[in-house]
A and B are shown apart, each in its own frame.
Chain A
Amino acid sequence: MTWAGSIFDTAGPPAERIARLAWFLIIVSAVTYLLVLVATGMAMRRARARRARGELADARPETGKRLTRNVAIAAIATTLLLLVFVTATALTNKAIAWPLNAQQPLTIEVTGNQWWWQFRYRDSVPSNWLTTSNELHIPVGRPVRVILLSNDVIHSFWIPELHGKQDVIPGHRNTTWIQADRPGAWKARCAEFCGLQHAKMAFDVVAESPAQFDRWYESQLASAQPPTDSSAKHGHDVFMQRTCIMCHAISGTEAGSSVGPELTHIASRPSIAAGTLPNTRENLGRWILNPQLIKPGVRMPPNALPPAEMNALLDYLETLK
């Protein structure tokens, strides 16, 4: 039973426990449902046979004592069944709330925004702190402590293959733990309605070997290289002198705003606009020209740049690997 975003396609310990609980609930509920169907069928057959014998259906009404006994049995059975479910859920909740065996956890601060995600990797050395947007990389086999913050409204952080949902609440720090046991690439989505573009608030999750993760981390930590060819240089000036600079940051340049997603390594990301479009030159151009056509209500304004400036800007953005 696997499909994209399936909770049964587990890749980490908490997700496994949740999947186990889900199977348990499904099987017990299915058996109970079948038993109820069988009992109903038997009662119907008995009533039909009685009618065939010429007896009225209510010829032998249940007497007071028998009725009481049957109702009591049904009530006790239902209560016991619910008790089993409540206990199983409580045990699972306890197991997944408990921090994983965390000797050297990686701490990532996740900030939900309308409608994109910011990830800040915390390190014991402050100069190694890393900020990325809409793309989460984690090393396989290492527990990750996820701290959830919100800049505006309530969002919900959900990577179905790794863990259950955890709400992202403004003015409150929520914590959850994830761990990937195998490499993989998944799509995660906001799981709490957060406004017009809630459906287009996704991010890419990549679980990779520690060596690959370290290589990625090093490359993301580097500042943007100054452009060399003349078109990209022009594009750099367009970025710094137009609306871009008010909201976006590119490390190593004057652009340092944190209103919108950080763009230092935008060219290395698989998608743009919080998992909305594949990261191609054409899509990027369309997006910059008028984001409102693609994601109505998004906070990025239309930017009617003349074609020469737009081309130069795209040339520059493509150098930000």
Chain B
Amino acid sequence: MSVVSVTRLWGRAAAVAALTLGLACKREERRFNASYPSPPAYAAVTLDTLQPGVPSPEITVNSPSEGNAYDIAQGKQLFAQWNCSGCHSHGGGGMGPPLMDNEWIYGSSPENIVATIVEGRPNGMPSFRNRIANNQLWQLAAYVRSMSGLQAKAPSPGRNDEMQYKVDEQRTPIRTPRASSSRNVPAKSERP
């Protein structure tokens, strides 16, 4: 093996390791004392991309909770403890609209969801202005997005006792591995 290829190999290994570590750290990072952005001002969040004339630049707030397993898990606890299920029924919808489908009346982006929680919406959604801390707002929004698969699979809760948009991890049917070639097929006498 030449020197060049060895160096390249090491370089690749280092890159893969850095990538893995970087991604893994973001996914599991727990920021206890970080300042989370304040809920976006009413005027700043848009629900529609359709605009007369030249569209104005889109204002987006970068949610620190997106893709963060800890924040999504915290959001899940808050969702249960603050009785969001009272109306949204674990995301399946009841008095309130379902949250695990792909229909979003007031937008699906984290800032749209935070605005919905803060401002409230007609016909039942209460306004939680000043009642929920900034970090908890983004955590809730991140969890709500995970309910319909808008979060990456890795940070999303994998096991749920309630309904989900996908088959639950612990409820997926057991698949028996199949032999890839005839060599591994057991003899007829050995089969059950």
Number of B residues contacting the other chain (C-beta, 8 Å)? 15
Which secondary structure dominates chain B's binding surface?
Answer: loop
CA A209 – CA B136 in complex, angstroms? 44
A240: nearest chain-B partner, CB-CB: B131
The one of B30, B74, B131 in contact with A243, judged by C-beta atoms closer than 8 angstroms, is B131
B130 at the interface (CB under 8 A from A): yes
Nearest CB on A from B119, distance (A): 16
A260: nearest chain-B partner, CB-CB: B81
Nearest CB on B from A303, distance (A): 7
Q: A259-B81, A259-B82, A301-B136 are in contact. Are A243 and B130 (CB under 8 A)?
A: yes
Mark each residue of chain A from 110 to 145: 1 if its CB lies under 8 Å from any CB of chain B, else 0.
000000000000000000000000000000000000
B34: nearest chain-A partner, CB-CB: A292
The one of B32, B128, B131, B133 in contact with A296, judged by C-beta atoms closer than 8 angstroms, is B32
CA A293 – CA B33 in complex, angstroms? 7
Mark each residue of chain B from 56 to 75: 1 if its CB lies under 8 Å from any CB of chain A, else 0.
00000000000000000010
CA A299 – CA B77 in complex, angstroms? 10
B15 at the interface (CB under 8 A from A): no
List residues of chain B with CB within 8 A of the CB of A245. Answer: 131
B146 at the interface (CB under 8 A from A): no
List residues of chain A with CB within 8 A of the CB of B134. Answer: 301
List residues of chain A with CB within 8 A of the CB of B136. Answer: 301
B129: nearest chain-A partner, CB-CB: A241
List residues of chain A with CB within 8 A of the CB of B77. Answer: 299
Which secondary structure dominates chain A's binding surface?
Answer: loop
B135 at the interface (CB under 8 A from A): yes
A184 at the interface (CB under 8 A from B): no
Q: A246-B82, A259-B81, A259-B82 are in contact. Are A292 and B133 (CB under 8 A)?
A: no
Q: Is the CB of A302 within 8 A of B33?
A: yes
Q: Chain A residues in contact with chain B, CB under 8 A?
A: 241-243, 245-247, 259, 290, 292-293, 296-297, 299, 301-303
Closest 8 CB pairs of A and B: A301-B133, A292-B32, A292-B33, A296-B32, A259-B81, A243-B133, A297-B32, A246-B131
